[in-house]
Chains A and B, each alone.
Chain A
Amino acid sequence: MSNLHYTIIEQIHNAGITHIISVPDGYLAPMIKKIENDDSLHLTHAAREEEALAIASGLAMAGKKPMVLMQNSGFLNSIGCFATLCQNYRTPFVLLIANRGNLYDKNNYDIPKIRYMDGLVRSMNLLSYSCHQYRDEDNLVRLAQNVAETAGEPTLLMLDYPPEQSAC
């Protein structure tokens, strides 16, 4: 697991996050495996990304602080849920999204993911922040959680560079 993974997990704890809902991605997999063995975080492996958004929304409406981990392609699968549930009910939580197709990715099949993800973020005017831009920030997850709670809607943290030991 990379230093970035350790840092993010530490930030998750510091932000008061109680529940993690995840669908795997190569950037995120080492972190998910670490969280599996972390008794202070409840991890839910969702079968599909829009489910992850719905589970997080249920937790948030029940007063908890969930966080979702998924890849950008999964977010693209989930726009109906994001719009009609997360935005319509204004459920505040943080999504850590592996933004694949970034400058460091070499796979041809990743390119469309970032093209349409970036376009979607702009067209929907989503609250989105680059982990690379804020890579020296010690409390990025807490800051994103604060934005989500203040705005009353999900906030996206875009993991747009590879952790040192990503699976793919």
Chain B
Amino acid sequence: MKQADIIKHIATSAHKAGAVVVSEIGSQTMWLYSVADHPSNLYLSGPMGMGPSVALGVALANPEKTVVALCGDGSLAMNFGALTTIAHQAPGNLIIAVMDNGTYELTGGVSSPSQAVDWEKLSAGFTSFDYNKVDLNSALEFGIKDGPQLWHAKIEASETRAPSFPLQPTAIHAQFKKEFTR
């Protein structure tokens, strides 16, 4: 499964359901823009690992709206503490979707230490995460749950760079706020 394909599946399904998507710096932001651009996408360009934390803030802002954080396995490994904070807050409108290929794709496919992570066991170690494997055949649900979800997508390791990303952070901020608060 290619990262671009599962991102397209998750994001287009999320958009149809009225959910918003927050993407981590690097290949998640670049592929999301390439395959499923939308005014409600919040594209991040730094720092690596803060996608779930930004998404938590967005989720807390409106508990009735589901938020999907698209993360890489390498980037999430940089900020596992975020899962602790999220589990403690336990927002039922937050989905952490991990694109797992065991590499840092954007930087040339260098191996990530996250290869050592068992994501199902990791999520089971928190009090409130619900773990699900997802793929292109998954019927994705975006309703409000009892707590946060961790979606695990096993994807191909690739050195193919996503197309370049032209948007500026201040423009992304303005567009997102307008869309989220209307």
Interface residues of A (CB under 8 A from B): 19, 42, 44-48, 50-51, 54-64, 66, 80-81, 84-85, 88-91
CA distance A55 to B55 in the complex (A): 7
Contacts A45-B85, A54-B53, A89-B172; A80 near B61 (Cβ below 8 A): no
User: A151 CB to closest chain B CB, in angstroms?
Assistant: 13
CA distance A34 to B173 in the complex (A): 32
Contacts of B82 in A (CB 8 A): 47, 51, 54
Q: Are A50 and B173 in contact (CB under 8 A)?
A: no
Q: Are B50 and A59 in contact (CB under 8 A)?
A: no
Q: Are B57 and A62 in contact (CB under 8 A)?
A: yes
CA distance A58 to B69 in the complex (A): 12
Contacts of B59 in A (CB 8 A): 58
| Chain B residues bordering chain A, tally (CB within 8 A) | 32
Contacts of B46 in A (CB 8 A): 80-81, 84-85, 88
Q: Are A90 and B62 in contact (CB under 8 A)?
A: no
A-B contact pairs, 15 of them (CB 8 A): A44-B85, A47-B85, A51-B79, A54-B50, A54-B54, A54-B56, A54-B57, A55-B53, A58-B22, A62-B180, A64-B60, A64-B61, A66-B57, A85-B50, A90-B170
7 closest Cβ pairs, A-B complex: A58-B57, A84-B46, A62-B61, A54-B53, A47-B81, A54-B50, A58-B54
CA distance A66 to B176 in the complex (A): 17
Contact with A along B38-49 (1 / 0, CB 8 A): 000010111100
Q: Is B58 an interface residue (CB 8 A)?
A: yes
User: B111 CB to closest chain A CB, in angstroms?
Assistant: 23
Q: Are A61 and B176 in contact (CB under 8 A)?
A: yes
Q: Which of B45, B170, B172, B177 contacts A63 (CB 8 A)?
A: B177
Q: Is B84 an interface residue (CB 8 A)?
A: yes
Q: Are B56 and A55 in contact (CB under 8 A)?
A: yes
Contacts of A48 in B (CB 8 A): 79, 81
- By CB atoms of chain A within 10 A, which of B45, B61, B176 has the most? B61
User: A64 CB to closest chain B CB, in angstroms?
Assistant: 5
Q: Are B81 and A61 in contact (CB under 8 A)?
A: no
Contacts of A89 in B (CB 8 A): 169-170, 172-173
CA distance A45 to B85 in the complex (A): 7
Identify the closest chain B residue to A88 (Cβ): B169
Contacts A44-B85, A44-B89, A51-B53; A63 near B169 (Cβ below 8 A): no
Q: Are B84 and A62 in contact (CB under 8 A)?
A: no
CA distance A47 to B86 in the complex (A): 9
Contacts A47-B82, A58-B55, A63-B181; A85 near B47 (Cβ below 8 A): yes
User: B14 CB to closest chain A CB, in angstroms?
Assistant: 16
Contacts of A84 in B (CB 8 A): 45-47
Q: Which of A19, A45, A81 contacts B50 (CB 8 A)?
A: A81
CA distance A51 to B170 in the complex (A): 20
- By CB atoms of chain B within 10 A, which of A42, A48, A59, A62 has the most? A62
Q: Which of A47, A57, A88, A90 contacts B45 (CB 8 A)?
A: A88
Q: Are B47 and A61 in contact (CB under 8 A)?
A: no
Contacts A51-B82, A85-B54, A89-B173; A58 near B61 (Cβ below 8 A): yes
Q: Are A47 and B42 in contact (CB under 8 A)?
A: no
